[in-house]
Amino acid sequence: MRPPVIESIKIENYRALQNVEIDKLKPFTVLVGPNGSGKSTLFDVFAFMETCFTSGIRHAWDRRGGLRQLRSRGAKGPVSIQISYRETPQSRLMTYRLEIDEERGRPVVSRELLRCSRSPGPGRPSHILDFRHGDGDVVDDETGEIVRIISTGATNLR
């Protein structure tokens, strides 16, 4: 089984990567740039995501010194990571976006979005998951119906 393939990545306010978009990624991609330009930071973005999903956002966030260290110096707004990928070469292009901000010294997910590059059918939403501060909906990819509306409140995400 071939793993899903990332085609593009967009990063905002993650350390040296204040506003970076890399598209047309290939399975073999070489990053070239001067010292301190953010090459290792790009790899840390993937490590950050992995820790978020395995150990939790709080762990990934605190380990990197929180918003003070993580957010690009002088920037405003959340730390944001957006990845577009295909499960298989024939699959629709999927886009996952995670935005993290900080409230009272703790990380909060201000936005989490999973959507298809094109709507699965007429009148159907293109998103599969869309949350803002813990409120949002999940759409059944088969029927296009909104199957769950979850209201956890941002406090529960900490």
Ligand X SMILES: Nc1ncnc2c1ncn2[C@@H]1O[C@H](COP(=O)(O)OP(=O)(O)OP(=O)(O)O)[C@@H](O)[C@H]1O
> Which residue's C-beta sits nearest to Mg ion?
40
Give the x/- contact pattern for ligand X in 105-144, rule: CB under 6 A: ----------------------------------------
Per CB under 6 A, contacts with ligand X among 51-80 are: 69, 71-73
Among 111, 135, 109, 113, CA closest to 126: 113
Using CB under 6 A, pick the residue from 6, 10, 41, 137 that binds ligand X.
41
Per CB under 5 A, contacts with Mg ion among 31-60 are: 39-40
Q: Distance between CA 157 and CA 126 in Å, rounded?
A: 25
Contacts of 1 (CB under 8 A, 6+ apart): none
Q: Report if residue 90 touches ligand X, rule: CB under 6 A.
A: no
Q: Does residue 84 sit in helix, strand or coil?
A: strand
Binding site for Mg ion (CB under 5 A): 39-40
